Structure 1
Amino acid sequence: MGLVTEMEYRGRRERRFLGRGTAWLVPLVLLAAIVTVDLQTSEKLRVVSWIILVPSIAAAICGVGATITFALLSLVTYVAVDAAFPERYRAGAPDFVLLALGGVLAVIASVVRVRRERQGVHMRNIAETTRRTVLRPLPPNWGGLEHAGVYLAADVDARVGGDFYDIQPSPHGTRVLLGDVQGKGLGAVETAAALLGTFREAAYHEPELATVAERLEVRMSRHRGHTAALGRYDGDRFATALLLGFPDDDPHTVEVINFGHEPPLAVGPGGVRPLPGGERLPIGFGDLVCGTRSGDPQPPACRERLDEDETLLMVTDGVTEARDSAGDFYALLPEITRAVCDDAGVTKPRRLVRLVREGVLRHTRDRLGDDTTVFAMRRLPEPQSAPAPASTTGRPSRS
């Protein structure tokens, strides 16, 4: 999904003069067919008045310019065909007035339709800009990770919802966040943007992953206080999330803090395994564990082993709760396991994301019930250091 550039928008406006592609052929063929039938039938069976359908169809599928053209062409054709018959068989002025009125109404309808289409394109552009602001594009191999991701909004026109993810390199290793804000609409988008902003700063500056998690919890509390001050009740807003850390000093370890989310899956040639650990309540429920209600500290990040050939797969509940027409859930783990057994190359992030995306769309028949995010990553191989040049100490000079 990309932004519509100004050049593309102008191109669409120019193409609307004739409509979408060859859509103008439909009213043209209809006009020719009506004229042919009227001229080939007897004088007692006149169908020339059916020309009123031509500008009406043009208004539905063509641009404003094409609709005006067909409205005028219909009037001229009506006069010419009607004049070819004897006077007593002519449709006459009443049908001409009816055709002229129908042409005017068709042009008005076309103007309204095209204006609404332009407004729709404008709103989709705004939604796309919002999506890129919340879910910023990630450079290839960002933070030393080979990654791939796809976001599918349940509301196709909105193109943005409460799912969020990001990668943040830092002096303390690369940190990854993926989550799903409870609820829908602009409130969920605002909350996702607030959490991502905090993550991008805290993940860079804080040496401990647990401290990043605490900053996210504080940000949720502040955000809810802000919305409450604005008069919008947002007190029950929360987010499930996965917070991961890839330490620079240990290339075979990943740190995991799970805020009530589906655990990440380590997918490798040897199979598929979930990575539980660091289990916490969703972001926004931290006051139930710490603070005045309890003195128990939050669990630290859990360190898990991650092999070089393993890819971490993270999904939101749009995947795990996807249902088919019979109400059955999408079987994520069995499908990935079966695919890995058939082809070990499917563990690459791009192929793995494509596998899950196509599987969910096939399972739901393209009818998503919730925003869906699939994100996969694995460490890039460490560059091999170049061999040291051979020492020339003690060798005689050849000069």
Structure 2
Amino acid sequence: MPFRSSSSYYQPPTAHEDRPSAVRPTGGWRAVVLLVTAMITAVVTLDLATPADLRARALFGLVPIAVALLAPVMATAVVTGVLLVVYMTLQSLSPVPSGGLAVLGPLMIGTGGLLGVLIARRKEEQLARLQAVTDVAEATQRAVMRTLPDRVGPLHIADFYQPAARAARLGGDWYDFQPSPHGIRAVLGDVSGKGLPAVSASAALLGAFREAGYHEACVGEVAGRLETAMQRYNAWARSIHDSEHPDAFSTALLLHFPPDEEAVDIVNFGHEPPLVVSADGRVHTPDVRPGLPLGMGALGAGPPAPVRLPLRPGDTLVLFTDGVTECRDEGGVFYPVRERLPRLVSAATAERPPGELLRLLAQDLHRHRHGAPHDDAAITVIRRTATSVAPYVTQADAALYEPRLAARAGVRP
């Protein structure tokens, strides 16, 4: 069950586990040794058990071709040399065939070795190109969906992300945190559609969130900027006649943690409401009524209004996309996260780090799901560990924004 997270309990595979290699054979050296041993044993047994005029030992020429599918060029060449030695040993013990036919075996082994080397070289070139594409994909992932820290100010974070495409590293789900001089902002959303168009739309929304989430003092202004970004993306898609994704939209939850207040402001763009786990382990769904999704603002009277909820130290927010709620079991039943989470959480669990709660939820989701995931799934767990939220992060931010904050409060800086 792959996870993309710095703080979740599952870590992504290391570079030696998930990267293709032109030096390390597919399946490991043990697989190559077993393959070569098995094929040599089979050919020698067949050669000894068949009539002399069958010349079964010439089948050694097939071994380098099979080895080339698993091993690099040098290993394929070494195996070819070993086969020639084995053939000459058999020929010296039992000189069959003889005369001009004696060169048939070395000729077939040499031909098979040459083909094997060419195949192995072609495979290494393809692996190198695949590695280059993988590196680009990972760099794109870090730029679009940057790795979250364990903590942002007084917020302790754990996150889980699983794209629907098995080999993909990005999808239509998007989330991030943005510290700002006005408090900490967070977002989690789900773009309609799949594939590269959905990734492109989520990248546009994340860029807008990071920019507006830092500069805008009012979370309502951040919401308006996200709506504008979605409409701007759709205008661009129409201008280039993108028939795959001409009118995208995205559900989202936009969160604002105001400084020095035990509260969180939530703007709901047609998304699943979050779950709140109190410090004593109780779970409830807050009344955060959904508005129109991003990209559909022209149908209403502007972005939905923020809703303020109490969020005291020790309380936890659980945000998720519809890839979680629409996960089906063998009978086609959706995953009832609002019913299952209270069974997973206790007072003791509520006191542990958010990664423990995420682990329990992700394992339960995995047990429920039947087959491969059909939609991107993202979960973000946010635990408030203190009351105060720093209004700025660096001294440069303080020098820039303290006068504005003081002026807004009616105090001369």
TM-score by length of 2: 0.81
Cα distance in 2 for residues equivalent to 1:115 and 1:87: 40
Contact 2:249 2:293 in 1 (8 A): yes
2:364 aligned with 1:355, yes or no? no
Report the CA distance shift for 1:346/1:220 in structure 2 as closer, same or farther (over 3 A).
same
Alignment match of 2:238 (pick from 228, 234, 258): 228
2:141 aligned with 1:136, yes or no? no
Secondary structure of the 2:283 match is strand
Secondary structure of the 1:56 match is helix
Cα distance in 1 for residues equivalent to 2:322 and 2:303: 24
Give 1:70's aligned residue: 79
Cα distance in 1 for residues equivalent to 2:128 and 2:364: 34
2:189 aligned with 1:179, yes or no? yes
Cα distance in 2 for residues equivalent to 1:88 and 1:104: 23
Range with bigger deviation, 270-279 or 203-212: 270-279
Q: CA deviation at 1:343?
A: 4.8
Give 1:195's aligned residue: 205
2:231 corresponds to which letter in structure 1?
A: S
What is the CA deviation profile of residues 140-199 of structure 1, one whole-angstrom value per residue up to 9, with x for unaligned ones?
Answer: 311321001111112232211111111111222211110011112222112111111111
Range with bigger deviation, 315-324 or 25-34: 25-34
Cα distance in 2 for residues equivalent to 1:148 and 1:177: 14
2:153 aligned with 1:148, yes or no? no
Cα distance in 1 for residues equivalent to 2:64 and 2:386: 64
Give 1:391's aligned residue: none
2:257 aligned with 1:246, yes or no? yes
What is the CA deviation profile of residues 344-392 of structure 1, one whole-angstrom value per residue up to 9, with x for unaligned ones?
Answer: 3476311122222222223225611111111110222248xxxxxxxxx
Q: CA deviation at 1:278?
A: 4.9
Cα distance in 2 for residues equivalent to 1:241 and 1:314: 10
Give 2:316's aligned residue: 311
Q: CA deviation at 1:248?
A: 1.1
State the identity %: 36
Cα distance in 2 for residues equivalent to 1:157 and 1:377: 28
TM-score by length of 1: 0.84
Q: CA deviation at 1:136?
A: 1.3
2:25 aligned with 1:20, yes or no? no
Secondary structure of the 2:284 match is strand
Contact 2:170 2:199 in 1 (8 A): yes
Give 2:379's aligned residue: 374
Range with bigger deviation, 81-90 or 168-177: 81-90
Secondary structure of the 2:254 match is strand
Report the CA distance shift for 1:286/1:144 in structure 2 as closer, same or farther (over 3 A).
same
Contact 2:60 2:108 in 1 (8 A): no
1:253-268 matches, within 5 Å, as 253-268=263-278
Deviating above 6 A after TM superposition, structure 1's stretches of 4 or more consecutive aligned residues are 2-5, 7-11
1:1-399 matches, within 5 Å, as 12-16=21-25, 20-30=28-38, 32-34=40-42, 37=45, 41=49, 44=52, 47-87=56-96, 92-233=102-243, 234-251=245-262, 253-268=263-278, 269-290=280-301, 298-341=303-346, 343-345=348-350, 348-364=353-369, 367-382=372-387
Contact 1:173 1:248 in 2 (8 A): yes
1:249 corresponds to which letter in structure 2?
A: D
Secondary structure of the 2:241 match is coil
Cα distance in 1 for residues equivalent to 2:277 and 2:31: 49
2:375 corresponds to which letter in structure 1?
A: D
Contact 2:265 2:308 in 1 (8 A): yes
What is the CA deviation profile of residues 17-65 of structure 1, one whole-angstrom value per residue up to 9, with x for unaligned ones?
Answer: x973433312332355247536865764764233234213311221121
Q: Which has the larger radius of gyration?
A: 1
Report the CA distance shift for 1:342/1:307 in structure 2 as closer, same or farther (over 3 A).
closer
Contact 1:311 1:347 in 2 (8 A): no
Cα distance in 2 for residues equivalent to 1:342 and 1:46: 76
Secondary structure of the 1:300 match is coil
Cα distance in 2 for residues equivalent to 1:40 and 1:88: 13
Report the CA distance shift for 1:168/1:11 in structure 2 as closer, same or farther (over 3 A).
closer
Root-mean-square deviation (CA, aligned residues, Å) is 3.0
Report the CA distance shift for 1:139/1:171 in structure 2 as closer, same or farther (over 3 A).
same
What is the CA deviation profile of residues 192-214 of structure 1, one whole-angstrom value per residue up to 9, with x for unaligned ones?
Answer: 11111111121222222111111
1:286 corresponds to which letter in structure 2?
A: G
Unaligned runs of 5+ in 1: 291-296, 384-399
Secondary structure of the 1:370 match is coil
Cα distance in 1 for residues equivalent to 2:166 and 2:380: 20
Contact 2:328 2:370 in 1 (8 A): no
Contact 1:241 1:282 in 2 (8 A): yes
Secondary structure of the 2:94 match is coil
Secondary structure of the 2:156 match is strand
Q: CA deviation at 1:338?
A: 0.8
Contact 1:35 1:81 in 2 (8 A): no
Q: CA deviation at 1:71?
A: 2.2
Report the CA distance shift for 1:71/1:247 in structure 2 as closer, same or farther (over 3 A).
same
